[in-house]
């Protein structure tokens, strides 16, 4: 009966494709997962409905999850305050007038570069690049879908390649349970040049940004954005500092809070704590700037902030439900079943490719790359030790597969955060990014097959 554990993610994906409604899809997936856990009886719908509610409520039992949800609302407030201050309009005008950004290609390249430089935390990378570039993309008639693609496909690959962050600390913690012929850190650093999906994805992003060439659904979204290019500016420009100062506070505050949360060890810092504290501080600074400038009263500022939160409520609900679904599928054993199914009876040379596929399937089905790492590292590393295989190659395949599946999944919380940061509809982001992610995934799969033949 283990095969039934794949039904909930199939339900989620099928409903998304059929009805184009993510929230209903996630609710039905959680509901079906709870039915399957209740003695696998399809006549237990009443208890399953109650369990579905309790599963959603249990998301708040995790402090990290609660911080993520609150931070998602605070981002809405911050974006609204900066937009209404006129700082975003002024910043866009300054960048254009200075000659730093003269056209859409330069705006795309700047967004890619910002995402590449900020590798400390994936949410920080997405938020900084998204907030900074929204106005520029609107100014040059570039679609929000393209912005969402660039920031999403830059942040996670960079974080998994430059491992001086929470991603590296998490994976290192998983590796410390095993005895290799080298240190766990050496195994982890050995994945950098072997993480083919991350490398290929970054190359595709910079090719897209530098050439302006788009394909598939993303090209159609871009054409619509050009056709709807506004002829006026909604909010008059004031001073760029109304955007620059809160944004700088958020960036440096997040790094500072990561140091502070673990007494100076950046890689072990809490991403959920730092992003919430920094975003809240940035909101307070944005509010204070506008209040003391004398242009907006306290009551108006509070209204603007809550309207900004309200704009993001549907996406925050999606993040909440995706976290609940991930927890439910973990209890159901979906990830473990998929990994066992893919990993059975494999010739040695194909193991890296199959671990990559397993990582992609688990991450796509559960919406979590970190959860995928936690499932597959305990499977892949004993294989490396027992069969005397190169552990870095197997680990790279697991990490790359997890990120690949996450990029394709409509139930991923990081996909939702990218949509929030860019101001793009979630399903449009998934639909337009999918072809690029699949190209990168197929290229990486082929490279792992070749690497398996050559290295193993």
- Model confidence over 271-318: pLDDT tens digits? 667 778 888 999 999 999 999 998 889 999 999 999 989 987 887 887
Residue 231 has pLDDT above 50, yes or no: no
pLDDT of residue 376: 81
Residue 1: pLDDT band by 50, 70, 90 thresholds? low
Residue 88 has pLDDT above 80, yes or no: no
Listed residue (26, 310, 253) closest to 121, CA to CA = 253
Listed residue (421, 426, 413) closest to 59, CA to CA = 413
Residue 233: pLDDT band by 50, 70, 90 thresholds? very low
Listed residue (192, 200, 162) closest to 447, CA to CA = 200
The string of pLDDT tens digits covering residues 100-143 is 888 889 999 999 988 887 776 677 678 778 888 888 898 888 99
One-character DSSP codes across 267-310: GG--HHHHHHHHHHHHHHHHHHHHHHTTSS-HHHHHHHHHHHHH
Q: Which one of 3-12, 208-217, 253-262 scores highest in mean pLDDT?
A: 208-217
Average per-residue pLDDT in the chain?
A: 83
One-character DSSP codes across 328-377: HHHHHTHHHHHHHHHHTT--GGGHHHHHHHHHHHHHHHHS-HHHHHHHHH
The answer to whether the beta carbons of residues 95 and 101 sit under 8 Å apart is yes
């Amino acid at each position: 009966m283990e095969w039934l554990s794949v039904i909930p993610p199939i339900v989620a994906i099928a409903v998304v494709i059929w009805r184009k409604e993510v929230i209903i899809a996630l609710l039905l997936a959680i509901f079906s997962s709870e039915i399957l856990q209740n003695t696998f009886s399809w006549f237990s719908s009443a208890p399953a409905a109650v369990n579905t509610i309790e599963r959603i409520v249990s998301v708040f039992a995790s402090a990290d999850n609660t911080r993520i949800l609150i931070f998602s609302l605070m981002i809405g407030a911050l974006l609204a305050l900066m937009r209404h201050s006129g700082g975003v309009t002024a910043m866009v005008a300054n960048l254009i007038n200075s000659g730093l950004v003269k056209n859409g290609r330069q705006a795309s390249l700047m967004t890619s570069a910002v995402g590449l430089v900020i590798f400390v935390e994936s949410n920080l990378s997405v938020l900084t690049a998204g907030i900074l570039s929204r106005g520029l993309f609107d100014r040059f008639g570039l679609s929000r879908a393209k912005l969402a693609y660039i920031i999403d496909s830059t942040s996670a690959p960079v974080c998994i390649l430059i491992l001086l962050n929470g991603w590296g600390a998490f994976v290192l913690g998983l590796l410390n349970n095993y005895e290799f012929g080298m240190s766990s850190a050496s195994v982890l650093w050995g994945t950098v040049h072997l993480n083919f999906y991350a490398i290929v994805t970054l190359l595709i992003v910079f090719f897209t940004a530098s050439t302006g060439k788009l394909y598939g659904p993303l090209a159609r979204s871009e054409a619509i954005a050009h056709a709807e290019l506004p002829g006026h500016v909604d909010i008059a420009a004031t001073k760029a500092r109304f955007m620059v100062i809160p944004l700088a506070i958020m960036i440096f505050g997040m790094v500072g809070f990561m140091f502070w949360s673990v007494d100076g060890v950046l890689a072990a810092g809490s991403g959920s704590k730092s992003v919430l504290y920094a975003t809240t501080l940035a909101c307070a600074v944005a509010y204070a700037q506008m209040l003391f400038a004398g242009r907006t009263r306290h009551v108006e500022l509070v209204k603007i902030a809550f309207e900004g939160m309200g704009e993001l409520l549907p996406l925050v609900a999606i993040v909440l439900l995706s976290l609940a679904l991930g927890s439910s599928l973990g209890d159901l054993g979906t990830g473990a079943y998929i990994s066992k199914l893919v990993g059975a009876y494999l010739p040695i040379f194909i193991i890296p490719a199959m671990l990559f596929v397993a990582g992609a399937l688990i991450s796509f089905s559960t919406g979590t790359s970190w959860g995928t790492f936690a499932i597959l590292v305990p499977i892949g590393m004993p294989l490396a030790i027992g069969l005397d295989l190169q552990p870095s190659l197997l680990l790279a395949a697991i990490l790359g597969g997890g990120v690949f599946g996450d990029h394709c999944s409509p139930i991923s919380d990081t996909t939702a955060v990218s949509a929030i940061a860019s101001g793009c509809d979630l399903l449009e982001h998934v639909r337009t990014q999918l072809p690029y992610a699949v190209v990168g995934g197929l290229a990486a799969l082929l490279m792992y097959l070749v690497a398996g033949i050559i290295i193993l």
